[in-house]
Amino acid sequence: MRKQFAVIGLGRFGGSICQSLRKQGMEVLAIDTNEDKVNKFANVVTHAVVADSTDENTLKSLGIRNFDHVIVAIGDNIQSSILTTLLLVEEGVKHITVKAQNDYHEKVLNKIGAHRVVHPERDMGVRIAHNIVSKNVLDYLELSDEYSIVELMAGTSVSGKSLIELNVRAKYGCNIMAVKRGDEINVSPSANESLQIGDVLIVIGADKDLTRLEHALF
Ligand code: ATP
Ligand code: ATP
Ligand code: CA
């Protein structure tokens, strides 16, 4: 059976989640208090309804507990976001992902039982900042406060060199998990093979080590 998702709040973030879930073939119920937003998404999602998610009876009548995953993408109204999340937790929804507006909001969401709290503006800011500082840093994924995964594009300073020559693990304490070349992805890169310009290295390590590596070689 296809997974059933509900997305509450059809701003830019919620709207984009709806579109991407549909593209992946998922069933999506879209909910918003704003009728214009709901009409706009009527053709995108499986079902779109005008409803206020802070109303417990409304959520019950939509059968919200039966959805595999509910995403709360209410933007600026933090109070509504918190109340909605609380009701979803009380209904026993198995997976609840909520977009947080700030650190305080995030803390409350975690306390009341949201399973995952996302912070797209802040996280995208971090990713873009790394990309701006070095154009060879393509992407950046935070694993914890200390550890991350980065995608680094091989330029002239590493091309023609092997992993042994670069000695990344010993010198920078980072591991190259995979190397992408065109459409091919090699998940156990050989230590002897030479890198080429345009290869994308997927590297895992401590932030301070990754920063040293980025600055030295990319
Ligand atoms: P984003 O920040 O995601 O880019 P945005 O800033 O446009 O988008 P908002 O407009 O603040 O986000 O909120 C997203 C949507 O949430 C709005 O369309 C709003 O109508 C809807 N919304 C707010 N409160 C509720 C509620 N209680 N029930 C359902 N939808 C709600
Ligand atoms: P180690 O104990 O560090 O694995 P090794 O001599 O057994 O050393 P080799 O596979 O021969 O390992 O690689 C020599 C060096 O090349 C490593 O110490 C490391 O610095 C670098 N290296 C090889 N593969 C990687 C990788 N995937 N990521 C980062 N560095 C690597
Ligand atoms: Ca917003």
Span 88-126, pLDDT tens digits: 999 999 999 999 999 999 999 999 999 999 999 998 898
State the complex-level ipTM: 0.67
- What is the homologous superfamily of the domain 4-118 according to CATH? NAD(P)-binding Rossmann-like Domain (3.40.50.720)
- Give yes or no for residue 169 CB within 6 A of ligand 2: yes
Enumerate the H helices of the chain as residue ranges.
12-23, 35-41, 56-61, 78-91, 103-112, 120-133, 163-166, 168-172, 207-217
- Give yes or no for residue 100 CB within 6 A of ligand 1: no
At the topology level, CATH places domain 123-217 in Alpha-Beta Plaits (3.30.70)
CA of 100 to the centre of ligand 3 (A): 10
- Give yes or no for residue 73 CB within 6 A of ligand 1: yes
In this predicted structure, what is the pLDDT of residue 218?
86
In this predicted structure, what is the pLDDT of residue 133?
82
Q: Do domains 4-118 and 123-217 have the same CATH topology?
A: no
Candidates 12, 16, 33: which one to mutate for ligand 1, based on the most atoms within 8 Å of Cβ?
Answer: 33
In this predicted structure, what is the pLDDT of residue 110?
97
Q: What are the residue ranges spanned by the domains of the chain?
A: 4-118, 123-217
Burial class (CB in 10 A: 0-12, 13-18, 19+), 74: buried
